[in-house]
């Protein structure tokens, strides 16, 4: 299993972080997503080796948030 942490800006309430969590968890091959609202850290555990950071970034940016790293 692989794990990846993205730094997401623009989440300002539980509704924001919940949307990010829900959208990333819906990606095929993703096992678990933890979002820390205060820091913007989004930790993604996944088992599908073809998944890449850019795919996660795109999904999150489509929701109106910025992925800075």
Residues that bind its own copies (CB under 8 A): 10-16, 19, 22-23, 62-64
CB of 9 to its own copies, least distance (A): 10
Q: Which is nearer to its own copies, 1 or 13 (CB)?
A: 13
CB of 53 to its own copies, least distance (A): 20
CB of 18 to its own copies, least distance (A): 9
Note whether 57 and 4 are within 8 A (CB).
no
For tokens 């800006």, name the residue: 9
Residue 4 to residue 66: CA distance in whole angstroms: 16
């Amino acid at each position: 299993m692989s794990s990846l942490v993205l730094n997401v800006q623009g989440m300002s309430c539980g509704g924001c972080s919940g949307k990010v969590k829900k959208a990333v968890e819906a990606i095929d091959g993703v096992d678990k997503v933890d979002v820390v609202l205060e820091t913007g850290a989004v930790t993604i555990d996944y088992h599908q080796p073809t998944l890449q950071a850019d795919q996660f970034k795109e999904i999150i940016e489509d929701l109106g948030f910025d992925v800075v790293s």
